[in-house]
Amino acid sequence: MKFKLIIDKEREEELIIYSHNKDKFTDEIEALCKSRSCDLVGYKEKEAVILDLLEVNCFTVEDNKVFAITDKERLQIKQRIYMLEEQLPSFFIKINQSCIANIKRIARFDASIGGNLTVRFKNGYTDYVSRRNIKTVKERMGL
Amino acid sequence: MMKKYAVEFLRRGMAFAGFGPIIMGIVYFSIDMNLDNFSLNGTEVLAAIISTYILAFLQAGASVFNQIEEWSLGKSLFWHFLTIYVAYVGCYLINSWIPFEPMFLVVFTAVFTIGYFIIWFIVYFSVKATSKKLNSKLK
């Protein structure tokens, strides 16, 4: 793959990739680009941490607060969930009204006894896909 | 953690409770269109509205039982079934849709149980098939 950097202070900063397919490399570039654009910061008590989006399993709402769930910790986010939806890279998908999941961090899908589709992340955290979002999830997963 | 599920129960219940009286109204309207001497007094109408509201509230709210991670599959299914069954049988008895007689209750319970598990099997295996397809895309 060729690499070309053009420094032009007159133009809006933009990153365009010509690739044969969407893969881990393009996802990482996208995450890096989005992180630079929106600077997502997570808070644990008073400590602020810049989020590595590839390490986030999902963003979820609990008691009206938004949290980023990683393998090691849960960090509070200042943005509202609907704002995150617009800012996050394409490998994040809204699975229900209160959760945006990282497709790359999903371990498996299961059927719950109530007829819901549940998502188990690689760290063991689980959430469900609402009926309203099933169609979008299937499309994004290539079904 | 259980507070989260209690709040979700209330949220879902409140969101869908209003559909109970609406569906009841449509059913009564259909009956009225097809029976010559159909009528209800004020007490019966009020009882029907309140009971179907509670029925819809409990049915929608009970769906949260299936998402309580701390509960086993059997426990979730048992409480979901029990809540729905009590809501339906109570609503049917209050509105005199079935008489308060042991034989009718036994038949109602049998039909309700069979119907519940047929629907459960269909929904569960349909979602199971979807989860299998999605899992194949994860690999």
Same domain for B108 and B69: no
Return the residue in B67, B75, B116 with the most chain A beta carbons within 10 A, the one to mutate for interface testing: B67
Same domain for B124 and B88: no
Q: Tally the residues of chain B.
A: 139
Cα–Cα distance for residue pair B60/B16, rounded to 1 Å: 6
Helix (H) / strand (E) containing A49 = strand A47-50
Same domain for B112 and B68: no
Same domain for B36 and B19: yes
Q: Which of A109, A113, A128 sits opposite B135 (nearest CB)?
A: A109
Same domain for B70 and B16: yes
Kindly list the distances between the CA atom of residue B23 and the CA atoms of A57, B14, B33, B49, B92, in Å, as whole numbers in the listed order: 41, 16, 15, 10, 14
All structural domains of chain A with their residue ranges: 24-140
What pTM did the predictor assign?
0.67
In this prediction, residue A142 carries a pLDDT of 84
Residue among A130, A131, A125 at smallest CA distance from A102: A125
Average pLDDT, chain A: 88
In this prediction, residue A36 carries a pLDDT of 66
Fold of A24-140: OB fold (Dihydrolipoamide Acetyltransferase, E2P) (2.40.50)
At B62-101, the pLDDT tens digits run 988 877 877 887 888 899 999 999 999 999 999 999 999 9
Domain count, chain B: 2
Helix (H) / strand (E) containing A93 = strand A92-96
Residue among A94, A98, A76 at smallest CA distance from A140: A94
Verify whether the Cβ–Cβ distance B66 to A112 is below 8 Å: yes
Verify whether the Cβ–Cβ distance B137 to A106 is below 8 Å: no
Neighbours of A31 (CB within 10 A): 23
Residue among B95, B5, B107, B28 at smallest CA distance from B55: B95
At A19-77, the pLDDT tens digits run 898 888 888 888 777 766 667 889 988 889 888 888 999 999 988 899 999 999 999 99
* Mean pLDDT calculated for residue range B105-112: 95
Residue among A106, A90, A87 at smallest CA distance from A140: A90
ipTM: 0.76
User: B32: distance to nearest CA of chain A, Å?
Assistant: 35
Same domain for B128 and B74: no
Same domain for B63 and B37: yes
Please name the residues between 31 and 50 in chain A that touch chain B, using a CB distance below 8 Å. none
Q: Are A92 and A55 in contact (CB under 8 A)?
A: no
pLDDT at B121 over 80: yes
Average pLDDT, chain B: 91
Cα–Cα distance for residue pair B121/B115, rounded to 1 Å: 10
Q: How is B52-117 classified by DSSP, letter by letter? A: HHHHHHHHHHHGGGGG-TTS-HHHHHHHHHHHHHHHHHHHHHHTTSS-S-HHHHHHHHHHHHHHHH
What is the extent of the structural domain holding B125? 102-139
